[in-house]
Amino acid sequence: MNRSNAEYKKYADSHAKPSPIVANCIKAFFIGGIICTLGQLLFLVYSGLGMAENNARALVSVSLIFLAVLLTGLDLFDNIAKVGGAGTLVPITGFANAVVSPAIDTKAEGWILGVGAKLFTIAGPVILYGTLASVIYGVVYYIVTLVMGMI
């Protein structure tokens, strides 16, 4: 880090408002817990209606995605995320919000150059690196399984 970068970092740190880490973690825990509880309640409802377990689980994911997209479209998801932080971003609802937000923001630019081009602006890297991480994990798991089978 050169001198100007170090000076800027010192300046920025001296003017930055301290982050209430513990309070943010507690809020994220409870908001994320509420989302997960909602998912569990939906699962119980769908199972109670006689759906097979796999179908009920899939419908829970679809329902949570729909609710996140609806709340994003109504401009409510961002307000919830301001309170819940990572509690809203980690579950599937955060991914749905990351896909829909850029599409809504760029709708005025048209369906192709706006929505189509910007749809995966935020979610694209998540998909890319999530897929890459899963491939690496799969290769490591395969190698470890082979080695353990030889022992």
Structural domain tally of the chain?
1
What is residue 151's three-state secondary structure?
Answer: coil
Residues of the chain with pLDDT > 70: what percent? Answer: 96
Distance between CA atoms of residues 14 and 1, nearest Å: 18
Closest by alpha carbon to 133, among 143, 125, 122? 125
pLDDT by residue (tens digit) across 12-71?
778 888 888 999 999 999 999 999 999 999 999 999 999 999 999 999 999 999 999 999
Closest by alpha carbon to 120, among 87, 92, 95? 95
Which pTM was predicted? 0.68
What is the CA 89 to chain-centroid distance, rounded? 4
Residue 129 pLDDT grade (very low, low, confident, very high; cuts 50, 70, 90):
confident
Query: Which structural domain range is residue 66 located in?
Result: 20-94
Q: Is 31 contained in some domain?
A: yes
Q: Is 63 contained in some domain?
A: yes
pLDDT of 122 strictly over 80: no
Beta carbons of 88 and 77 less than 8 angstroms apart: yes
